[in-house]
Amino acid sequence: MHHKLGDPDQRNSFSSRRRSVRFAELMRRFPNLDAMRVLDLGGTPEFWRATPVQPKYVTTVNLDPKYDPEEPWLDHVVADACELSTLDKCPGDYDLVVSNSLIEHVGGYQRRRDFAEVVTSAAPAHWVQTPNRYFPVEPHYVAPGFQFLPVRTRARLVSRWPLAHERVYTVPDALAQVLTIDLVSTAELRHLFPGSDIWHERLAGLSKSIVAVRAG
């Protein structure tokens, strides 16, 4: 079950509205997006079908095999976004790498370093967005301070928490879920992408999401 507040696929959800804000900033940074070849690490064809501007060509990469786009400007590759060999499976050269809310899920610091290497190897420009670890409300569970609680406490809470993006009902299942999320700070994002600009998406004056941006 998806909760409307945190489901970006719900048109009027909070997450969907914030995604629209970020896309507007993406367009401001890359006004010629419609002429660019984009590699989207962790994205889906549905995201790009719904955007107000479509790039010249998009390859989406994630581990889900269910996508098989028919549009000539869309391609989907089933692969690990943290492996450089993934780039061999992606056709052509790219102008821009886009990744939204993936890096916090790849699994540990070394995997995030590997992911950053894929990003910087694939194209001269990038946009890598992730929720800010120090925003007071954890975005996956819409729970204040949730990310700072002990792991076992998080699991017990999630098994009873109605606002999670993906509901689970047992502590073991909840534990498996919370361990897949490792929110990233501004300091770490800057370390992983040195030389990139860090843009802060703000809500009520606080930094809700952080984005490493390089214009190429």
Overall average pLDDT of the 149-158 stretch: 94
**Could you tell me the domains of the chain?**
8-136+182-214 (3.40.50.150), 141-180 (no CATH)
Residues in the chain: 216
Give this prediction's pTM.
0.89
| Cα–Cα distance measured from residue 5 to residue 161, given in angstroms and rounded to the nearest whole number | 13
CB contact set of 98 (below 8 Å; sequence gap of 6+): 26, 38, 39, 40, 41, 43, 126, 127
Count CB neighbours of 120 within 10 A: 18
Per the listing, tokens 């804000």 go with 21
What three-state secondary structure class fits 45? helix
Overall average pLDDT of the 127-138 stretch: 97
Residue 5: pLDDT band (50, 70, 90) is very low
pLDDT of residue 11: 52
Residue 1 has pLDDT above 50, yes or no: no
Asked if 111 and 80 touch (Cβ cutoff 8 Å), the reply is: no
pLDDT of residue 16: 64
pLDDT of residue 2: 43
Q: Per-residue pLDDT tens for 85-100? A: 999 999 889 999 999 9
pLDDT of residue 14: 54
Q: Per-residue pLDDT tens for 188-216? A: 999 999 999 999 999 999 999 999 999 97
Could you tell me the CA-to-CA distances from 135 to 51, 56, 143, 144, 209 in Å, in that order? 26, 35, 11, 9, 8
Overall average pLDDT of the 75-87 stretch: 97
pLDDT of residue 141: 92
Mean pLDDT of the chain: 91
pLDDT of residue 136: 96
